[in-house]
Structure 1
Amino acid sequence: MLKYSQSNCLPSSEELPDSDDTPVDNELQNLIPGLLKAILALIWSQRQDWFFGVDMGVYYDTNKPAIVPDGFLSIGVPRIINEKLRRSYVLWEEKKLPTLVLEVVSKTYRNEYSTKKSIYAKELGILYYIVYNPLVSEQASLEVYQLVNGEYVLIPGNPVWLSEIGLGIGWEKGTYQGITRQWLYWFDEQGKRFLTPEERILQSEEQRLQSERKRLESEEKAQKLAEMLIKLGVDPESLI
């Protein structure tokens, strides 16, 4: 489905623009895919065969401009190419289609249901297409589509299990960067949500405090026991 000729001198990712330079009209269009990427970096920290792009140009045809999803996940490619990192995602270099693309709906609809959806399905053949509207709070705000016979079929539910990726995706109310609202998260097969980096830090700190509290309580009990033994005329050291 990739339309380019190997006989041409193909432009490299260094030569191609890295985005379409279209400004986002809502901060959530960067925060939401950024959160998904941050969680992936934790739960797949030992894997180096994946890449999650945020607002990055995907080049699929030398005769057409890049398409720029708000987020996309590609599996089976190097997570890091070199210290310069990726400027864009060029299919004739990567040789792997993204498995999933995410579009975060802006207040002015940006072809999420027309042009982009058609390109993802007809020209690229992206397996999962996700449309998320962060400005509403109903379940319909998350739409997960799977490509079946060249057409996108809506998968109901929240979260939705993505078997080819081995993760679920769904929305839940939570706090990220101090902002409490509905966010998109990754889930395991049992429907349990993976923690964000901030939540992991808080969890670790809570565990440390609990451990310290138990240690202090244990020391306090030992001290009281020693005082009781001394009153009874027993040397606590003689019992060791």
Structure 2
Amino acid sequence: MFNYNPLDCLPSSVELPDSDDTPVDNELQILVPNLLLATLAFIWQNRDDWFFGINMGIYYTPSNPAIVPDGFLSLGVERFVGENGRSSYVLWEEDGIPPILALEVVSQTYNGEYEQKKIDYAKLGILYYVIYAPTRLRRKRQRLEVYRLIEGKYILQPGDKLWMSEIGLGIGIERGTYQGKTREWLYWYDENSSRYLTPEEQLQSILAKLQQQKIDLNAL
């Protein structure tokens, strides 16, 4: 008996465009999600059930163009797919698992982050939608806004740090240094609102401890 699988007729990720080819307005749109990814790779280095995409297309139906957040996090999926990794995030190849978090970094060119993208991400069922405006503050808008999907609508959550129990991480803003640039950044936090160190900070901490041990040995 012939078994028909409709998924076999859908295009694969290698057959679909991997982004919308829209250039970013400033380097913060790249640096902010890259900092989150680098830190997450350190925090969850022993886990392989997550994926963090940066400026990557999310396909939810083959007949619609991809939605391309500045960053997104999915849980319960393979972290690494093949030697070359994912070219795009295709829901019918990910067992229908949508991202649990989407991130938009607001640039100088306003792009519907507070309106249309909220509608798009809600339709996808993305639980948390994070909007970060690192260079300017729109009227009546907070610099960081984190929304939680409740009964199909995004509800703004209070505070500049938010614990997301479904993810097991908090997210918030704080002044720090990344790649030699000191400014406010978006960071991951633990349940006690303590910020996770970045890989650079971890290295600096290790080097400082080694230097102190060297001083202590020389003093003997």
Secondary structure, counterpart of 1:140 in structure 2:
coil
Report the Cα offset of residue 204 of structure 1. 0.5
Structure (1 or 2) with the larger CA radius of gyration: 1
Q: Which residue of the partner structure matches residue 195 of structure 1? A: 197
Q: Which residue of the partner structure matches residue 209 of structure 1? A: 211
Report the Cα offset of residue 60 of structure 1. 0.7
Q: Which residue of the partner structure matches residue 102 of structure 2? A: 101
Secondary structure, counterpart of 2:215 in structure 1:
helix
Identify unmatched segments of 5+ residues in structure 2.
none
Secondary structure, counterpart of 1:14 in structure 2:
helix
1:104 maps to a residue whose letter is V
2:170 and 2:189 in contact (8 A); partners too: yes
Q: How does 1:120-139 map to 2 (within 5 A)?
A: 120-121=121-122, 123-136=123-136
* Structure 1: distance between partners of 2:136 and 2:191: 26
1:137 and 1:182 in contact (8 A); partners too: no
* Structure 1: distance between partners of 2:35 and 2:57: 19
Report the Cα offset of residue 6 of structure 1. 3.1
The answer to which of 162-171 and 136-145 deviates more is 136-145
* Structure 2: distance between partners of 1:137 and 1:217: 52
* Structure 1: distance between partners of 2:175 and 2:50: 27
Report the Cα offset of residue 109 of structure 1. 1.0
Report the Cα offset of residue 114 of structure 1. 1.7
* Structure 2: distance between partners of 1:166 and 1:7: 32
Q: Aligned-residue CA RMSD in angstroms?
A: 1.6
Q: Which residue of the partner structure matches residue 117 of structure 2? A: 116
Q: Which residue of the partner structure matches residue 75 of structure 2? A: 75
Q: Which residue of the partner structure matches residue 30 of structure 1? A: 30
Report the Cα offset of residue 137 of structure 1. 7.3
Q: Which residue of the partner structure matches residue 65 of structure 2? A: 65
* Structure 1: distance between partners of 2:202 and 2:119: 39
Q: Which residue of the partner structure matches residue 87 of structure 1? A: 87
Report the Cα offset of residue 56 of structure 1. 0.3
Q: How does 1:36-47 map to 2 (within 5 A)?
A: 36-47=36-47
More helix by share: 1
1:128 and 1:145 in contact (8 A); partners too: yes
Report the Cα offset of residue 108 of structure 1. 1.4
1:45 maps to a residue whose letter is Q
* Structure 1: distance between partners of 2:119 and 2:137: 26
Report the Cα offset of residue 8 of structure 1. 7.1
Q: TM-score, normalised by structure 2?
A: 0.93
* Structure 2: distance between partners of 1:181 and 1:120: 29
Q: TM-score, normalised by structure 1?
A: 0.86
2:7 and 2:92 in contact (8 A); partners too: no
Report the Cα offset of residue 136 of structure 1. 3.4
* Structure 2: distance between partners of 1:105 and 1:136: 8
Identify unmatched segments of 5+ residues in structure 1.
219-240
Q: How does 1:3-22 map to 2 (within 5 A)?
A: 6=6, 9-22=9-22
Residue identity over aligned pairs, in percent, reads 58
2:104 maps to a residue whose letter is E
